[in-house]
Chains A and B, each alone.
Chain A
């Protein structure tokens, strides 16, 4: 063996570790894409002839070595008709072309065989008042038609606001809640973050050092601690005080004294403050000093230089800070659980009624929908699928925001290169 082969082995080990990291990241994305998109795909229906003479029709939801789980017609309630069938009991298995699935508006599914009139008769027989959302013959349609159905389901998930219960219906209320929350948070965090960054840029005395180390330490405080602060100080402190002063006639029903949009936005603003400050300050520091010196030499005050020259030049850094803050806030679920996120809100926090934005209302959130659907859904099979669909949507939003930040950072560097030359 040649000299240095131990070193080569070590190199391969660290290289292997790097590829394990890449593999893990790829696996996370693949699992997420697969499990997040498969609920929208129209699965084939199977009809099983059992050895005891019965036959069942439905869709396969899970299978292990020797059993499979079938979802059959849910005549009573959602999630009420799973059957577990051992493989040895199955005499024959078929995918009849005339098998249909009826999706009712309350989330139930009915399975049967026959043409459109048979399907309508079955829906009427199960419940004369239920609204039929869709009737499909998935075994009879080809791949292009299935793709069309897939996109229809996806569109319904993204765009439907009919939240009859948390486990069916679209993700729109949760999406609206998430977006409203992070927008309100941005309105709060940006002025303070930029003011602090300007202060840190202009000063370098003891006070600035104190602020800087406080910010560095705040970036490392666990997010749940912010949630405790939001609950204890904002909700039980400020909120209860506002209620006593302004809404005394409604007590003991709390208005601001329970978790709501405003308190959640304030909590997240605290959480994302370090991100904004660091990013804006870095952007200001990257601007060539000659620019600032030139402005001051021409007689502009420091304030005028900052307002008219440096902040406009650092606009991409401001945007980067904002986007990173939004991405961090959109993924922070733990603090929200303490300050007003609910699994099913009676009304959206933003609507057409005066004053349009309702800061005291409870709201829904995509991240919390993931948690709730995965662990607290009465129908575990559907819950997991729904959790993955919401998770994919959330990750899509967050990654899109992060990629925008990366592109902006690149543009920003190009821009300063142009300034320097």
Chain B
């Protein structure tokens, strides 16, 4: 019979047991050393990004003439793209999160979240392709149609809710499914009606403009904003809502007076993290922004972001040349900006976690 010595200690002689104990202790230490070494490498790798950027910019030499101006234009481009995207992502993401957390039928909830996870899994290069090949040619002719949709769809939803809302209140957990064909039909109708008109009322300066970036990058950021906002809303104990309902509030009143104020910091964190993600996103802006370094607030012109400049400029730049150094400085600015945003969001979320864990309210 073969006995594994480290399993049946009782069968061993004293010497063997001692030897075994020594071996086990050594193995234990080796294991701990491996884990510690692995973690050290990881920590080192994590700290290396800012260190590398700073060290390679030293000793400091002034940028060539126009370097700071160029950096400013790129930074403005990144911020403009992020603001345009947030104008799309924040309303959609937070409203979807509110619906999912507060109104949704439990069975539907199991479908909305995975659908948005699939949207998040789609590589941004693919969304960039759709933006530049499918959306841009349509948007070039139909800026006015888009504006019309922005007014018509919400107005229609609000009006329909006013008129039919109280009758269908029992089924409101299934609203997205019920409204899906209606929304699609309204959009299709407006688009078809608009395509009958021959003259174009608003002509953008470039087919690759900030509106296009806002739509594509915004769609890419919806899942992130959604998941963080939903996480924050789900942390509010259900007892709060139930107490409000028991006191005679409607679900909407419970939402606006109890849940939203309690989850406000989590919603802010969702917006901040969304902004951080939009600032750093590369492929969509690289493909669909036209990459024209323009400054200004006009949403119908192109733009050029830091990330696109890096993707286009760095492969050609000679190491230690002036251009290379300027690009490294741009990277450092991008890193610092997203780092501050992430830190801010993490702080806000941590404070929410401390104050809103179920049970702290129990007393």
Contact = CB atoms under 8 A, between A and B. Distances in A.
Interface in B198-240: 219, 222, 226
B32 A303 contact: yes
B123 A222 contact: no
Interface in A1-20: 1-2, 4-20
Given A19-B183, A337-B311, A11 B48 contact: no
Interface of A is mostly: helix
B339 A217 contact: yes
Interface residues of B, number: 109
A73 interface: no
A196 B44 CA distance: 12
Contacts of A374: 128-129, 132-133, 287
Contacts of A327: 121
A199 B45 CA distance: 16
Interface in B115-147: 115-119, 121-130, 132-134
Interface in B176-214: 176-177, 179-180, 183-184, 187
Q: How many A residues touch the partner, as a band?
A: 35 or more
Interface stretch (B66-74, B157-165, B293-301, B352-360): B157-165
A6 B117 CA distance: 32
A228 B95 contact: no
Contacts of B287: 371, 374-375
B61 interface: no
B329 to A, nearest CB: 11
B118 A399 contact: yes
A28 B346 CA distance: 31
A273 B327 CA distance: 25
A94 interface: no
A402 B118 contact: yes
B125 A1 contact: no
Nearest to A270: B45
B130 A18 contact: no
Contacts of A199: 35-36, 38-39
Contact of A370 (B91, B129, B160): B129
B346 A217 contact: yes
A333 B118 contact: no
Contacts, number: 319
B267 to A, nearest CB: 13
B243 interface: no
Nearest to A330: B123
Given A4-B253, A330-B123, 15 more contacts: A5-B162, A8-B169, A13-B161, A16-B157, A17-B95, A21-B119, A21-B222, A195-B37, A229-B53, A273-B45, A304-B24, A333-B124, A375-B287, A387-B129, A394-B123
Interface of B: 9, 24-25, 27-28, 31-32, 34-39, 41-43, 45-49, 52-53, 56, 91-93, 95-96, 98-100, 103-104, 112, 114-119, 121-130, 132-134, 153-154, 157-162, 165-166, 169, 172, 175-177, 179-180, 183-184, 187, 219, 222, 226, 250-253, 256, 273, 276-277, 279-283, 286-287, 307, 310-311, 314-315, 319, 327-328, 331, 334-335, 338-339, 341-343, 346
Interface of A: 1-2, 4-25, 28, 31-32, 35, 191-196, 198-199, 202, 210-211, 213-218, 220-229, 231-233, 236, 259, 270, 273, 277, 299, 301-304, 306-307, 327, 330-334, 337-338, 367-368, 370-371, 374-375, 384, 387-388, 391, 394-395, 398-399, 402, 406
27 contacts: A8-B165, A10-B252, A12-B158, A12-B179, A19-B179, A23-B187, A24-B119, A24-B222, A35-B134, A195-B38, A196-B38, A199-B36, A199-B38, A214-B43, A221-B335, A222-B307, A224-B311, A229-B52, A331-B124, A334-B311, A370-B126, A370-B129, A384-B133, A391-B125, A394-B123, A398-B122, A406-B114
